[in-house]
Amino acid sequence: MSEEHETAAEAEVVEQPADLAPAPRKLFVKTYGCQMNVYDSDRIAEALAPHGYVAVTSAEAADVVVINTCHIREKAAEKVYSEIGRLAKMKRVRQRNGGSLEIAVAGCVAQAEGAEIMARAPGVDIVVGPQSYHRLPDMLSALRRSGHPQLDTEFPEEDKFRHLPPRAKPRAPSAFLTVQEGCDKFCTFCVVPYTRGAEVSRPVSAVLDEARHLADGGVRELTLLGQNVNAYHGAGMDAEVWSLAKLLRALAELPGIERLRYVTSHPRDMGEDLIRAHAEIGKLMPYLHLPIQSGADRILAAMNRKHTVDDYRRLVDRLRQARPDLALSTDCIVGFPSETEAEFRATLDLVAEVGFVQAFTFKYSSRPGTPAAEFESQVEEALKTERLSRLQAVIDAGLVAFNRSCKGRVLPVLFEKAGRQAGQVTGRSPYLQPVHVPGEAGMIGKILDIEITSVGPGSLGGVIVQG
């Protein structure tokens, strides 16, 4: 599979006579937000590579900058506008000196605020939503032909994956693979159903092809991505609709793939077969990100989460029965409109009770167009800040306790890259903890048993178990 891909890419370059080949343009893709944006940014670079775009590592060195944006909270979106401002200034300076810079805004801010970006940031040349970025090569050509800015924020019928070139050679032994996009849950605080659209699953054969290609290129760990990944329902080769559990079972059979993960899941879509998969698929890592958002039923109902605190507790029990060493992480929002002190404390209690090994905490951020933005009794910023730091303290304590409990244990670690210090290699434990070990580059891509000998604030240290 991978050979076919490489041959196709090479053929495209070789067929062009040298004097007609486009001059290489330097491309910088800057990523904000979630893992799916990281995946999309790779695919944007891959879509442009056959057209003569070579990746560079800074905007300063680039002819074309794509910023792949996040709209989930106000702060994330504001960061984007300040980066656009910085780039527009750079562009004006270059233009004064006879140079140029093309600026494209991709991702969820592009989707949500397309026309507004053009109005607010005149330096922007292209605005392209998350479902249309395969069109970037055409849009850049149209921009140059016409001299006019280009905008595409459609949700096209045709799926972008069919138009993207095959994946490039993987750069690391752990890779993301998008299997599902969009969300039909409509939590009242969340922009995702509007920016990423309705839930769509990629066909099984497309996922397996991409996974085989990644495995052939040296990938050992796949993290399946979707805004609501456990709602996956992809068309199978057998004319059946496949669940995520069935997809995971097929992926576990692929030679080379040693570890599987998936993110992000909704508690409502945690079906019996997926719970069983945690018991039966050894390659499925014992770590699950399962957002709870709040520990109070009234708030969960106002959030339209479609589950109660007790539903969540029961689900965690079933998961732990299936996989006793399962570590859980979660997302929590503090200061959702009308959240009382008692309701916030219920979140604190639930977090302590479940014993998450990691959690991502957010102050509620009012997002235009979402129902909760219109709710009364918005919580004051100072109170949100105070609640966030109290919650963070409980979460940090859980994280420290879990990391300490790993000291003396032997954990299989997948080594991913050279460590920051010379003579050190860094990998990840099954629980996603970074682990630093004395060793050499030959360890990268291998899974080795490591005895954990030290515990730092955000990582573990260890040594290879001899023999």
Residues of the shown chain interacting with ligand SF4 in the complex, contacts defined by CB under 6 A: 183, 185-187, 190, 192-193, 227-228, 266
State how far Cα 352 lies from the chain centre: 26
Q: What is the smallest separation between the CB atom of 262 and ligand 5AD, expressed in angstroms?
A: 15
The CA distances from residue 211 to 31, 203, 221, in Å, are 23, 13, 10
364 binds, among ligand SF4, ligand 5AD, none (CB under 5 to 8 A by kind): ligand 5AD
Amino acid at residue number 375: F
357 close to 364: Cβ distance less than 8 angstroms: no
Q: Which has the closest alpha carbon to 44: 34, 55, 33?
A: 55
Say if residue 215 is exposed, middle or buried (CB neighbours under 10 Å; 0-12, 13-18, 19+): buried
Q: What is the smallest separation between the CB atom of 227 and ligand SF4, expressed in angstroms?
A: 4
Q: What is the smallest separation between the CB atom of 360 and ligand 5AD, expressed in angstroms?
A: 7
367 binds, among ligand 5AD, ligand SF4, none (CB under 5 to 8 A by kind): ligand 5AD
What x/- string results for residues 180 through 219 when contact with ligand 5AD is judged by CB under 6 A?
---------xx-----------------------------
333 binds, among ligand 5AD, ligand SF4, none (CB under 5 to 8 A by kind): ligand 5AD
Q: What is the smallest separation between the CB atom of 465 and ligand 5AD, expressed in angstroms?
A: 37
d(CA 128, CA 150): 8
Q: Does 160 engage in binding with ligand 5AD (CB under 6 A)? A: no
**Per CB under 6 A, which region of 57-65, 100-108, 317-325, 364-372 contacts ligand 5AD?**
364-372
Q: What is the smallest separation between the CB atom of 266 and ligand SF4, expressed in angstroms?
A: 5
Q: What are phi and psi of 111, to 5 degrees?
A: -65, -45
Angle at 383 between CA 381 and CA 385, to 5 degrees: 70
DSSP readout, 45-94?
HHHHGGGTEEE-S-STT-SEEEEEE--SSHHHHHHHHHHHHHHHHHHHHH
365 binds, among ligand 5AD, ligand SF4, none (CB under 5 to 8 A by kind): ligand 5AD
How many residues touch ligand 5AD under the rule CB under 6 A: the total is 12
**Per CB under 6 A, which region of 41-49, 116-124, 243-251, 359-367 contacts ligand 5AD?**
359-367
DSSP readout, 250-292?
HHHTSTT--EEEEE---GGG--HHHHHHHHH-TTB-SEEE---
Q: Does 364 engage in binding with ligand 5AD (CB under 6 A)? A: yes
d(CA 433, CA 423): 20
Q: Does 431 engage in binding with ligand 5AD (CB under 6 A)? A: no
186 binds, among ligand 5AD, ligand SF4, none (CB under 5 to 8 A by kind): ligand SF4
Q: Does 303 engage in binding with ligand 5AD (CB under 6 A)? A: no
Which residue, chain included where needed, has tokens 């292209």?
126
144 vs 186 by CB, closer to ligand SF4: 186
84 vs 300 by CB, closer to ligand SF4: 300
185 close to 266: Cβ distance less than 8 angstroms: yes
Q: What is the smallest separation between the CB atom of 192 and ligand SF4, expressed in angstroms?
A: 4
229 vs 411 by CB, closer to ligand SF4: 229
Site for ligand 5AD in 258-297 (CB under 6 A): 291, 293
**Per CB under 6 A, which region of 121-129, 209-217, 358-366, 426-434 contacts ligand 5AD?**
358-366
Q: Does 362 engage in binding with ligand 5AD (CB under 6 A)? A: yes
Q: Does 32 engage in binding with ligand 5AD (CB under 6 A)? A: no
224 close to 247: Cβ distance less than 8 angstroms: yes
412 close to 449: Cβ distance less than 8 angstroms: yes
Tally of residues, the chain: 467
Looking at the DSSP bridge assignments, the partners of residue 454 are 461
403 binds, among ligand 5AD, ligand SF4, none (CB under 5 to 8 A by kind): none
d(CA 389, CA 367): 22
Q: What is the smallest separation between the CB atom of 374 and ligand 5AD, expressed in angstroms?
A: 13
Structure tokens at 217: 């290129």
Q: Which residues bind ligand 5AD (CB under 6 A)?
A: 72-73, 189-190, 291, 293, 331, 333, 362, 364-365, 367
